[in-house]
């Protein structure tokens, strides 16, 4: 028994260590991009050496010097190669590796994934089949105008078009979300803008399991609409039961974000855990049959993976289903499943298949939330163990919520820069609601597909979801408890997790060593605040890129003065200044009206608006800003004022900008258009 326990500990240690090494290898490949052939040969060499050592010394492998080090180096190399193997750009058939004319004549592609639509377009990720009749591979983002098609394109539909590929625009303002980098993680590097006249649909029949899953989701939605469900309720059903958040109303979505309950709209461990409990209960009669103890876990695992496919195989649902599949098998084999070991195994296999998942926020937050729960929830629960069920269940939910927040708070602040102060209240209500909605929802879907869904059931289920949405909206209205615009750097994230881990070890071991390391982490965290507050802040003058508007900023130390012509609604909802404020750690923002002349570091910036007035100046400006489409003769203006640079922001007509660009090229004077080159900055 003693030997078995030791070996289990060693096994757990090895699995976790190998997973960490795999992660290190993926990170190295992502950021440093080592040569594919060199890394492949190194991997083969390392694995060969490790195999020879194991065969030669397998009975005394623990005593063999450097075996562990070589094994871990081999796994790091495997991580590098796993990333490279899944890098589509390294494949000879990838469209970026083929010699093609810039003006493409024909593109054939298959719909792979439906994304959330924007104001103007429906968005899809597509797989390329051919370009100019040449077979190629790769993925594109396509944007189809809303008024072009009366229906959504189904997954696996094959279409033909004749449009030129366009690059995906990089961020045009400081600290703006980099959508192009996000798409690169999905290996999408170009996009198309299409309408009905550009598209010829060759096929709409599903050919993959994803296509059949999409067809099933579409059929479920049609049945639910026919049964009488409204849009707001349908959006929540799609998110919670079908893993599709594209149709959720923006106001409802923001309410969930602000109340700290957005996690329930992404199918994850909580949802899959509840579904596992439901399936265990429903399939319990199988245990009375001869091979029931084999059939039940097999059927449960198959159903869980079918649910994952229908839900779109997102990082969170893939992680959750992998983990709970392992737990389900372990439960039926009567073997205790170490949760850390299970998490490591699930992460290991997921990252072998999809290494870029490592860099997705959902994947990171789902693992950190579970790690927080399994590490801290037992500690919190031991502080008070109520005797009565009516107190015990809310206390369990509260401790789980607090533990999960410890796991995700640092990385959530890093990515989203806000913290919901009332998360514990909202989760106390939402988590019990979620079990009811999932259980009831599965019944509703089965009844809808069998055309036996009664209007009374529709009304009851709609009332439950409307009540949930109403409660979330009520919590979200307390904006004073939503702490926004919190600057949080990567170093602070690292310090935070160092404090959490060392505090946990100090609590468990009561060792002075861990207490000391924890205190060092706290001092390091405090030092980051001191450094950020007292480091030298360069002054800056910024002309931001804002479609149809003009925004000019003056930064002086930790204060920002913004001159703009936004209306009150745009001013409240605008993210450009908010992103800049967080990124530069601005303490005070002052709003002012636009002016005609600006001075910065001894240089003069002249702003010419729609009036086109600039004559009779008593000075020569260094820079000229054209905004709100002034009708001017740029040739004459340049001859008269001889500026260093002409700047045009996104408030101008594009036809004007095109003409000004040609004039500046002819005059051999630099021209900066913010909608192409991004915000103009002087510092």
Q: What is the pLDDT of residue 666?
A: 92
CA distances from 95 to 131, 134, 190, 652 (A): 8, 10, 10, 35
What is the secondary structure of 330-360 as a DSSP string? HHHTT----HHHHHHHHHHHHHHH-GGGGG-
CATH topology of domain 95-207: OB fold (Dihydrolipoamide Acetyltransferase, E2P) (2.40.50)
CA 534 to chain centre: 32
Alpha carbon distance 176, 190 (integer Å): 19
Longest Cα–Cα distance of the chain, Å, equals 99
- State pTM to two decimals: 0.86
* Per-position DSSP letters for 125-160, written without gaps between them: EEEEEEETTEE-B-EEEEEEETTT-SSPPPTT-EEE
DSSP-assigned states of every residue in 486-513? ----HHHHHHHHHHHHHHHHHHHH--HH
Which pLDDT belongs to residue 628?
Answer: 93
Tokens of 442: 């599965």
pLDDT of amino acid 7: 35
CB 19 within 8 A of CB 348: yes
The answer for residues whose C-beta is within 8 angstroms of residue 452's C-beta and 6 or more apart is none
Write the CB contacts of 136 (distance below 8 Å, at least 6 apart in sequence). Answer: 93, 94, 95, 98, 128, 129, 130
As averages over each run of 10 residues, the pLDDT of the chain (683 residues) reads 38 76 95 90 90 75 70 93 93 85 77 87 92 91 76 89 88 93 92 86 88 88 90 88 83 86 77 83 83 84 86 76 78 68 86 91 86 91 87 86 90 90 83 84 89 91 92 88 88 94 91 91 90 82 93 91 81 79 90 91 92 81 93 90 93 94 93 95 90
3 state SS of 224: helix
Q: What is the pLDDT of residue 414?
A: 93
**Are 274 and 435 a contacting pair, CB within 8 Å?**
yes
476 to each of 48, 503, 633, how far by Cα in Å?
A: 58, 32, 52
Query: Residue 675: its pLDDT value, please?
Result: 94
Q: How many helices and strands in the chain, by DSSP H and E?
A: 22, 20
* Rg of the Cα atoms in the chain: 29
Contact 419, 486 (CB under 8 A): yes
> Taking the CB of residue 295, how many other CB atoms lie within 10 A of it?
15
């Amino acid at each position: 028994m003693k030997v078995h326990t030791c070996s289990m500990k060693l096994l757990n240690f090895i699995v976790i260590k190998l997973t960490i090494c795999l992660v290190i290898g993926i990170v190295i490949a992502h950021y440093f991009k080592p040569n594919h052939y060199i890394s492949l040969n190194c991997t083969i060499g390392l694995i060969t050496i490790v195999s020879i050592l194991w065969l030669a010394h397998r009975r005394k492998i623990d005593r063999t010097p450097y075996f562990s080090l070589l094994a871990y180096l081999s796994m790091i190399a495997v991580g590098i190669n796993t990333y490279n193997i899944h890098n589509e750009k390294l494949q000879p058939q990838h469209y970026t590796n083929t010699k093609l004319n810039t003006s493409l004549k024909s593109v054939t592609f298959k719909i792979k994934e439906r994304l959330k639509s924007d104001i103007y377009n429906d968005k899809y990720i597509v797989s390329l089949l051919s370009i100019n009749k040449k077979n190629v591979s790769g993925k594109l983002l396509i944007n189809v105008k809303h008024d072009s098609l009366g229906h959504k394109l189904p997954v696996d539909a094959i279409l033909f078009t004749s449009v030129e590929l366009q690059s995906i625009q990089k961020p045009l303002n400081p600290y703006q979300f980099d959508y192009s980098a996000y798409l690169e993680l999905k290996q999408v590097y170009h996009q198309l803008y299409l309408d009905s006249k550009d598209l010829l649909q060759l096929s709409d029949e599903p050919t993959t399991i994803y296509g059949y899953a999409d067809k099933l989701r579409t059929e479920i939605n049609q049945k639910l609409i026919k049964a009488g469900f409204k849009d707001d309720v349908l959006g929540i059903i799609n998110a919670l039961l079908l893993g599709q958040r594209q149709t959720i109303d923006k106001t409802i979505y923001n309410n969930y974000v602000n109340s700290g309950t957005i996690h329930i709209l992404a199918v994850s461990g909580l949802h899959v855990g509840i579904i596992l409990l439901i399936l265990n209960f429903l399939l319990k009669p199988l245990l009375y049959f001869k091979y029931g103890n084999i059939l039940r876990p097999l059927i449960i695992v198959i159903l869980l993976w079918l649910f994952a496919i229908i839900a779109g195989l997102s990082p969170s649902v893939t992680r959750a289903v992998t983990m709970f599949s392992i737990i389900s098998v372990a439960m039926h084999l009567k073997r205790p499943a170490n949760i850390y070991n299970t998490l490591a195994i699930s992460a290991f296999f997921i990252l072998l298949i999809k290494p870029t998942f490592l860099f997705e926020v959902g994947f990171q937050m789902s693992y950190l939330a579970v790690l927080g729960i399994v590490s801290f929830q037992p500690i919190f629960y031991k502080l008070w163990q109520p005797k009565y069920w009516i107190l015990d269940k809310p206390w369990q939910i509260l401790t789980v919520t607090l533990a999960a927040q410890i796991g995700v708070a640092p990385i959530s602040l890093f990515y989203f820069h806000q913290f919901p102060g009332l998360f514990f209240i909202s989760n106390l209500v939402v988590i019990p609601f979620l079990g009811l909605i999932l259980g009831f929802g599965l019944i509703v879907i089965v009844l809808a597909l069998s055309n036996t869904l009664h209007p009374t059931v529709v009304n009851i289920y709609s009332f439950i979801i409307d009540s949930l949405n109403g409660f979330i909206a009520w919590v979200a209205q307390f904006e004073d408890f939503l702490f926004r615009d919190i600057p949080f750097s990567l170093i602070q994230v690292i310090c935070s997790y160092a404090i959490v881990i060392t505090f946990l070890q100090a609590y468990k071991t009561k060792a002075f060593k861990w207490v000391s390391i924890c205190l060092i982490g706290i001092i390091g965290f405090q030092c980051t605040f001191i450094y950020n507050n007292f480091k030298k802040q360069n002054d800056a003058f910024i002309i931001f890129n804002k479609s149809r508007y003009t925004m000019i900023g003056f930064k002086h130390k930790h204060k920002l003065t913004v001159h703009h012509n936004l209306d009150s609604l745009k001013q409240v909802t605008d993210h450009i200044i908010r992103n800049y404020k967080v990124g530069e750690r601005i303490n005070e923002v002052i709003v002012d009206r636009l002016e005609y002349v600006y001075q910065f570091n001894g240089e003069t910036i002249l702003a010419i608006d729609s009036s086109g007035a600039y004559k009779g100046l008593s000075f020569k400006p260094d820079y000229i800003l054209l905004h709100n489409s002034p009708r001017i003769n740029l040739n004459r203006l340049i001859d008269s004022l001889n500026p260093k640079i002409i700047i045009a922001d996104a408030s101008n007509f594009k036809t004007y900008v095109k003409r000004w660009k040609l004039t500046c090229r002819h005059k051999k004077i630099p021209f900066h258009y913010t909608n192409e080159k991004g915000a103009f900055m002087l510092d």
